[in-house]
Structures are given as structure tokens and as C-alpha cells.
Amino acid sequence: MGQGLCGIGGGNFEITPLEGCAPLTINIKNNVPNTITVGYSVAYDGSPNPAYANYSSYTYPAGNYTILQYGAISSGVFSSCKQIKVYETDTPWFEYASCGGGKVRLVFTDNYYLNAYDKTEINWGDGKIDTWVKGNALTFEHVYASTSLTPVISVKGVYTVNTSCKSGTARTIPVSFQQVKLDDIQISKVEVKNNGSIEMNYAGITSIATQIQYSTDGNNFSTHGTRSSGGAAIFYRMDNINSSQIYQLRLSSRDLCGGQLESGLVTTMVVTGKSADEKNVLSWNKYPEGRGFTGYELFRDGVSLKTFGINETSFTDEDVQCGDQFEYQVVARTNSVTSTSAPVTVKTEIAQPKPITQASVSVSSDKQIVINAVIPGAGPKSNYELTIEKSEAGSTTFKRLVTLSNENEYIDSDVQANEQSYCYRLSYQNACGQKLPPSDPICSITLKNALSNFTWNTERPFLEPVGNYVMIQKGQSSGSADEIDKQLSSSFTPSLNAQSDLEYTFQVRAHSASGDFESFSNIFYYKRSAGIFVPDAFSPNGDDVNDQLLAKADQVQSFSFSVLDRWGQVVFHSNDLAVGWDGRINGKNAAVGAYVYKIRFVDDINQEVEKSGTFMLLR
């Protein structure tokens, strides 16, 4: 790690302690006087922009760390860094087994935790202690003089070269002189995958080596692999198998002391399927009797269809339509095992298509509107074409916008969502070439404002009724957002006063009646205070360019605009923003030169404001 911010200098702080056993809690004290701000990056890595906070203490796990002090005083920034060492305290990993009589065998796992220490002590609980150091064998045997007691084995890592951490946490295990029962090691779950693999779970026992074996005829078994970890649900995957082949699986286990036993057999399941007469027909192999069988269960796209007895090995699925594509799996269950087949995909060829009943449209930005549809019966592997038609709000003429292949979402970028609403109709053609008429229109929500009264169109953005509208009001300075449920109202007047934020954003969110869809309007950027603009020159020469002096304003309730000549005489007055001065006085052209304007107005929160300035009349 480079020096980074550590090299700035000028910092001063104390850390106690600087090293010790994990977890290590340190105390931090700042010694820099008159700080404007100070913080600490507790695991500094040399970054120029680290995260830091004003810690007074912090707790570290094992490892080596750099802590950065970074802050500011009136003359500039300062920094300082210190090193912290936290020693590992987790116990080295080991397994043990009783081998009969008073003999036990203990085996270490050669990994980080074992090698973190200078040595590891084994206290056998009968006054005898063995020590492992790097280079020694990982296996220890010990014979107890008596098996009538229950000694406790204690194992811990020890440090010999430092004084701040003497040793790690000791792990203790009461010794049981009863040998492990290998018949507890059994397969609990088997699942065949389409990628040419079988995944299984089985209950293992720590320190017991287990071979995973398979057979295609139930007599001749081959070993696929060996595992020795323990636990209630050990995962194992057999690769490079034929998913359409029926296999017999078993476990062959050997303990640390040489004992060996084979588990009960588990049979894999294979399901086949085809489409016939608008129906999907499924069949599967019969599970061997005499193994505690309880039933089959058939799934379609992960949802249970039906359960069956041991002699029922077929099913006809009639709840399908043209273009449907489903995955089927069968699960065989016994008292202790589940065996799941690989999925089989069946596509239905002929049916009557269903109309689109779920769709939504939502404004993403001024230049983007998102159209989303739920295609009836569509799945991850379905084939269909979705056609989207478009019209501008108020028009009954729809023109084809796009045709999508196997996609149900489209972003329309040819829009001005801040200015107007757009409506869309949807239709689709299934894999059998059947097509329904277009759906009812769905229309984007356009939010508009006039004198702080927000309104929006009520054409549905869904193919189902609108459940409610929510106005999202967010203050730009506070960053807080309020959500106001407007139910089915299409207008909103915010409650603003002189203490309100100067700027807000407003956006409408519509929820469908079912709650499955939502649609957003455009975002309206709103300034609380009225803005007034008067140009600094105009040229009333009859060329239709800049021929009138007009004041431009928004959020104004009342308005008064006067023009004065250089002697202070009012030569023009208007109370209408749309009426400006044409550069004439009493029907004659006014003289070229400087004039003064005065404006009085009442804004949207009833504040009276005055503004004046000068401009030039040019010819």
C-alpha cells in the first residue's frame, strides 16, 4: 500500500492498544487542538478518498491494519497514520474419532487457522499434552487408561514470540468412547439436471470418508468421488452423466478407525413428455418397491400439479394452449429420500389465443416512455410477436410503432412526455400464427401546473382500472419526499408558505386496482418564488421580430406593468402578461433611448413583489 494521505502530516492521536488478540477493541484519542473537523479511516488502503468517521473506539477482527487520522484546522488539513496488528484467535480445525477401547484419533486440517499460530497444543484431559508445530504430521493418536470417565479434549493455538496475545480460543470436546454409527450416513435428496449432472444431499459425519457410488444395473457399482466433511446436509454433484438414464446411487463410508458400511439405494427419476391433441402427455419410471415409498408429485414450471401412487406413472395435462412451453418434473418420495427428475420441456401446438389483459405505460423521462405487457401463457422459452401502436393524446388514429420478437417491454424515445400524453394499443401473434385485435388504449400520465394547481389526465395507464393516484412532492434543499394519496382525484394544490423549500419536484404515481402495476408521470420542476423576465432592449420596427416589450412570468396571481420615460411619466401600462408595449405613445413612435419599467405582482403564496429596471428602445 502506498503512503496516500498518510504523508500530509500534522496529525497527532493516540491508539491503545496497538496490538492484541481478536476481536481487539481500541480506544482513539485526538491530540490536535482547535480542530474544525477530524475523522478516522479504520482500515485505510491508500485511497485518496477514503470513508472516515469520528470514532472514539473501534473493534477489529484478526489482521493487520492502517488507521488514518484526517481532519482540518484553520490553517489547512492534517493527517497521521498508525499500524495495528490483531492476532487470530479462532481454533485450528480438527476432527476426532473413537476407535474402540480407550483409543482416539485426532486429525488437523492444514489451513490458515492452523498455520496462524507458532504451535498448537492438544490437552487430552488426562494430564497428557501433545504439541503440533509446522512440519509435524497432522494425525495424533492417544490411548486413555480408563474409559469409565469422560475426559475433555482441549485444542488451542499458541503464540511464543509476542506478549500482547498469548494464545487463541480453546475448543473443547468431551470424549465419547462409543464408535461412530456409519449407518447414520444416508442420502436425503437427489436431483437430476439437464446439464448432465446429478446433485445430491446426504447426512455426513465429521472425519468420516464417504465414497459416492453409482450403478446402471443395480449390481455393478463405480465410485464417482470421495468426501470427508461432516454435517446434516452435505452437497455433492456428479458430472458427466446421462440425464435420461436411470441410476442406482449409494454411499460407502469408512471412519478414521477403518470401519466401513454402505447406505441404502436411491433410484433417480426420468420423466418424458410430448404434445398430442392440444394436450401434454407425461410419463416416468416406477420407483422400486420395498424402500418406504410414499408417492410421486408432478410439477409444471415449479408448481405442483398432482400427486400419485407407486403404480401411477403417467399424466395428461389438458390445461395448456397453443404456443405454451412448460417444464415438467416428477419427484419420488420415500420416508427419508426425495428423488427429482431432470425437467422435460413440452410445447403445445394448437389452441385459441387469449387477449392481453395486463399491460402498463410509464414515463421514464421527458424523452422516454416505457410500455410493458404480460403476454398470456408466455414463459422464458415462448415464441411470440408483440405489436405496439401509438397515437398522441386526443387522436383516435393509431399507427404501428414497433413489432417485438419475444420481448414484452419497449422504450419509446420519440416523445415529449413533459408536454403531452401518448396512448398505445397492444396486440400479439402466438407461435401458431394466431392474432387477436388490439387491446384498449393505455396512456401516459402528463402532469401540468397552473398557479400551483397541478392537474393530470385520467386516461388509464393500465388495461385494468386505476386504484389510486399518489402525488410525490420532494423538496430540493431538504431532500425529503412526501407521498400524498389522492385516491382517484386528478388535481393537487400543495400547501406552501414563506418557510417552504424554494424548489420542489412533483410527480404522480398511479397504482392499478390489482396492485400489480404502477405508472409514473413526468417530473415537474417547480420554483416557489415567481420568476419575472424583462428584456433589456426591443426594436419596434415592424419586422415582426422583437416588436413588443413583454414581461414573462410564472406562478403569478396578479400583475401590473408600467413603462416610464426619462422624466418619470408613465407612457404605457398593462395588467395582462399577454399585452406588451409596441413602442408607441399616443399613437406615435416613441423616441429611441432608455426607458424605465416597474412591475408589481402577487405570487402564488400571496407575497407582493416589486421589481424595476431599464431597457433600450431601438429602431
Would you say residue 178 has pLDDT above 80?
no
Q: What is the CATH number of domain 182-267?
A: 2.60.40.10
User: Is-same-fold flag (182-267; 271-347)?
Assistant: yes
Handedness of CA 416, 418, 421, 427 (dihedral sign): positive
Distance CA 65, CA 189 (A): 45
Q: pLDDT tens digits for 257-315?
A: 766 778 889 999 999 999 876 689 999 999 998 788 999 999 999 999 999 999 999 99
Residue 399 has pLDDT above 80, yes or no: yes
Q: φ, ψ for residue 207 (rounded to 5)?
A: 75, 5
Asked if residue 512 lies in contact with residue 462, where contact means CB atoms within 8 angstroms, the answer is: yes
Distances (CA, A) of 12 to 25, 27, 44, 79, 600: 20, 14, 16, 8, 60
Residue-wise pLDDT tens digits, 18-73: 999 999 999 999 999 999 999 999 999 999 999 999 999 999 999 999 999 999 99
Q: What pLDDT is stored for residue 529 in this prediction?
A: 62
The answer to whether residues 337 and 189 touch, using CB atoms and an 8 Å cutoff, is: yes
pLDDT tier, 346 (very low <50, low <70, confident <90, very high otherwise):
very high
Cα-Cα end-to-end distance for the chain:
71
Q: What integer is the mean pLDDT of 607-611?
A: 80
Answer whether CATH 2.30.40.10 is correct for domain 4-87.
no
**pLDDT surpasses 70 at 608:** yes
d(CA 256, CA 105): 7
Judge if pTM exceeds 0.75: no
Does residue 1 have a pLDDT over 60?
no
Which pLDDT score, from 0 to 100, does residue 232 have? 65
Report the relative pairing of strands 266-267 and 231-239 from DSSP bridges: unpaired
Q: List the domain boundaries for the chain.
A: 4-87, 94-174, 182-267, 271-347, 353-528, 532-617
* Confidence band of 458 (pLDDT split at 50, 70, 90): very high
The CATH number, out of the four listed (3.30.2350.10, 2.60.40.10, 3.30.300.30, 1.10.1370.30), of the domain defined by the range 271-347: 2.60.40.10
φ, ψ for residue 271, nearest 5 deg: -115, 140
Q: Are 162 and 212 in contact (CB under 8 A)?
A: no
Contacts of 205 (CB under 8 A, 6+ apart): 180, 182, 184, 185, 230, 253, 255
Q: Which of 88, 87, 82 is nearest to 29 (CA)?
A: 82
pLDDT in tens, 557-567: 788 999 999 99
User: What is the pLDDT confidence band of residue 117, given thresholds at 50, 70 and 90?
Assistant: very high
| CA 220/CA 197 separation, integer angstroms | 20
Indicate whether 518 pLDDT > 90: yes
Task: Flag whether pLDDT at 451 surpasses 80.
Answer: no
Q: What's the chain's average pLDDT?
A: 90
Residue 179 has pLDDT above 70, yes or no: no
Greater model confidence, 524 or 207? 524
- Decide which of 202 and 257 is more confident: 202
Q: Which stretch, 97-111, 358-372, 497-511, has highest mean pLDDT? A: 358-372
Burial environment of residue 586 by CB neighbours within 10 A (0 to 12, 13 to 18, 19 or more): exposed
Residue 607 phi/psi, 5° resolution? -90, 135
Q: Is the pLDDT of residue 488 over 80?
A: yes
Name the percent of the chain lying above pLDDT 70. Answer: 93
Distance, in Å, from the CA atom of 410 to the CA atom of 369, rounded to the nearest integer, reads 8
Determine the pLDDT at residue 445. Answer: 97
Q: Give dist(CA 512, CA 361) in Å, integer.
A: 11
Of the pLDDT bands very low, low, confident and very high (cuts 50, 70, 90), residue 380 is low
Residue range 353-528, CATH number: 2.60.40.10
What is residue 605's predicted lDDT score, i.e. its pLDDT?
A: 64
Q: Determine the topology of domain 532-617 in CATH.
A: Immunoglobulin-like (2.60.40)
Average pLDDT over residues 116-139: 96
pLDDT at 177: 83
Would the pLDDT of 84 be above 90?
yes
Q: What confidence score (pLDDT) does residue 136 get?
A: 95
Structural element, H or E, at residue 430: strand 422-430
Is 41:4 a contact under the CB 8 Å cutoff? no
Q: Taking 60 as the threshold, does the pLDDT of residue 2 lie above it?
A: no
Which helix or strand (DSSP H or E) is residue 115 part of? helix 112-115
- Mean pLDDT lowest among 218-227, 293-302, 435-444, 474-483: 474-483
